[in-house]
C-alpha cells in the first residue's frame, strides 16, 4: 500500500494529539472516527432532546417506584 501525503498529514495530526493529553487525544480520535465512518457530531439541540427524554424517563421511573412501593 502506497504511503500518501494525506497519510503523512494524518500521522502528524495523531502524533500532535498524543502530545496534548487524554482530552485532546479523545477529541482527535472522535474526528478520525467521524471521518472514517462518514458521520457528524451530535448537535446541541439533539443533546438537549436526549437529556430531556432521559430526565422525563428518570422521573417516570421514580414516580412508578414511589407509587408501587410495598407498605411498611
Same domain for 33 and 47?
Answer: no
Cβ atoms of residues 7 and 1 within 8 Å: no
Q: Spell out the SS3 assignment of 4-20.
A: CHHHHHHHHHHHHHHHC
Same domain for 1 and 23?
Answer: yes
Same domain for 33 and 48?
Answer: no
Q: Which helix (H) or strand (E) holds 64?
A: helix 44-67
Same domain for 32 and 53?
Answer: no
Task: Work out the angle between the directed axes of helices 22-37 and 5-19 (0-180°, nearest 10).
Answer: 150
Domain count, the chain: 2
Residue 34's domain spans which residues? 1-41
User: What is the pTM for the complete model shown?
Assistant: 0.52
Same domain for 17 and 37?
Answer: yes
**Rounded Cα distance, 11 and 70, in Å:** 60
Sequential pLDDT tens for the chain (72 residues): 455 566 566 666 666 666 666 666 777 777 788 888 888 888 999 999 999 999 999 999 999 999 988 777
Amino acid at each position: 500500500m502506497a504511503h500518501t501525503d494525506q497519510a503523512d498529514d494524518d500521522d502528524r495530526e495523531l502524533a500532535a494529539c498524543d502530545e496534548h493529553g487524554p482530552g485532546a487525544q479523545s477529541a482527535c480520535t472522535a474526528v478520525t472516527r467521524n471521518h472514517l465512518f462518514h458521520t457528524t457530531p451530535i448537535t446541541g439541540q439533539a443533546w438537549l432532546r436526549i437529556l430531556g427524554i432521559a430526565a422525563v424517563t428518570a422521573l417516570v421511573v421514580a414516580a412508578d417506584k414511589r407509587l408501587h412501593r410495598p407498605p411498611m
